Amino acid sequence: MSTCTKESPPRALQLPDAFEDLTGVISADLKVIVSALSQRAAERLRLSPRQRVQLQRALWNRLADAVTDTLEPFNVERH
């Protein structure tokens, strides 16, 4: 029996002001990446629909965090 874990909601992509105009483009690209990876994993690993949703959410959150964290030093307000 698997344990039920509280799922974290999808995180918003938060870019510094200097990159804010790219938020839509980057979000769209991340959606394509997450979709492609989760679809392939679902096909090859025979994931259940719930597992696929969990994978999508985890991928989105980690990728959004990576982009946000990487660009944080370039925030104009911090300089």
Locate the domains of the chain by residue range: 34-74
Identify the pLDDT of residue 44: 97
User: Distance between CA atoms of 59 and 56, rounded to whole angstroms?
Assistant: 5
Amino acid 57 reads R
Say whether pLDDT at 76 is over 80: no
Identify the pLDDT of residue 36: 97
Identify the pLDDT of residue 78: 55
The residue-averaged pLDDT of 48-76 equals 93
Q: What is the pTM of this model?
A: 0.80
Which of the 8 DSSP states describes residue 75? -
Identify the pLDDT of residue 74: 85
- Please state, for a pLDDT cut of 70, what percent of the chain lies above it: 86
Say whether pLDDT at 3 is over 70: no
SS3 (DSSP) at 63: helix
Within 8 A by CB and 6+ apart from 64, the residues are 10, 11, 12, 13, 30
